[in-house]
Amino acid sequence: MFDKIIFHVDVNSAFLSWEAVYRLKILGEKIDLREIPSAVGGDVEKRHGIILAKSIPAKKYKIQTGESIHEALIKCPNLTLVQPHYDLYDKSSKSFIEILKEYSSCVEQYSVDEAYCDMTGTDYLFGSPVVAATIIKDRIYRELGFTVNIGISTNKLLAKMAGDFKKPNLVHTLFPDEIEKMWRLPVSELFYVGRATTKVLLKLGIKTIGELAKADVTMLRSHLKSHGEVIWCFANGIDVSIVEPQAPANKGYGNSTTIAFDVENAAIAKLVLLSLAETVCTRLRKDNMITSVVSVSIVNFEFKYVSHQMTLFTATNITNEIHKASCRLFDELWDGTPIRKLGIHTSRVIENDHVRQLDLFTMDKYEKYEKLDRAIDTIRFRYGEHSIMRATYLNGIYKMDHMSGGISKEKLKPEGEEVFYK
């Protein structure tokens, strides 16, 4: 028997599956999106027009996640497209994680649709690993309506690789003595091997994971530096990471927004930055954190990206201070080219211990700003984020969200029931 038993649980076509189940169970639709060429995509008019998830029938048309909706419709003109609803996905994700926690006390949520479970020693409770995985898989389908793949091995890497074998709704093992199952796969399918790394490996004559496992580490390191050694270890099934049920502390807070029109006016851009600062600083204060580094990013209408950062005189989470710093960075960065996307990001985040380095120019404003933000946070918590906003966003020429960034409000909740998965 192995010392460790790790499960990797992955929802099959997560966003599309969750949309399909919602539409069948709540809206009463007769067509299952999973059984026809379909995809979850963004809003073309608002420039979020990419494929986020696709059905298995859509794969036959070689539709790829991340490609534009325009490209996908050329490949498959009868493709059924639905817009994403992220509140629904969040509820669906939490529901399947709660089921996993009934079978393991050590569950690490890796992403919205993936999790690792340390199942070591649970064979006395649920049977062999394959039996336990089948029980979990079938229960998720029975109670929540969507399918998962479960990979089983002795470490996270091999469990994840096993979970990516044939789909959907299957259980696969990849124990160390079965590693040849992985070795015959193309090297591009190895975890942590992206497009750029694949190109380098192919130039070196390495086409399969098995060939990578038998390659000279020194040679790999000379071409790929430390990353070469990491993927060599992975190809040999070596992974020392553990399942961590507690998420690591947030190292930075940030948000960005794609604007519905090309911004050519600095004043409008700074209004967008203010709305981003509102969102970012609200999150900082909620977690009782402060930041000492602020950066601003710009994507212009030609999709060129630039960014600029600065270190603050003292760490803060005050909206006015972050916005002021962002405007200064924007003025130093922007060359007048029409703007498509703006972002504010923070780093060097620490816990707020209420010790602040004061200066002659801000010492009389700091406490006022802090009390103001605290009062606004309280009102928004009780009555919703739209209960109070700055007057500058009222009756403006442009319709602009006073707290922007991340997911647009219309994509948060689907029509119909407010609650699907409890």
Measured distance CA(259)–CA(160) in Å, rounded: 37
Cβ count near 2 (within 10 Å) = 14
Tokens of 181: 């199952």
- 76 C-beta neighbours (distance < 10 Å), count: 18
Half-sphere exposure of 349 (CA within 13 A, CB side): 20
> How many Å apart are CA 259 and CA 245, to the nearest integer?
37
Residue 204 is given by DSSP the state T
**Cα–Cα nearest to 59, from 42, 74, 77, 76:** 76
Does the annotation mark 98 as catalytic? no
One of 19, 67, 114, 385 is an active-site residue; which one? Answer: 114
Q: Do residues 398 and 306 touch, judged by C-beta distance below 8 A?
A: no
**DSSP assigned state of 207:** -
The one-letter code for the residue type at 95 is S
Can you say whether the dihedral through the CA atoms of 381, 387, 390, 392 is positive or negative? Answer: positive
Q: Of the candidates 191, 194, 301, which has an alpha carbon nearest to the alpha carbon of residue 239?
A: 191
The span from the CA of 359 to the CA of 214, in Å, is: 61
Q: Which residues are catalytic?
A: 114
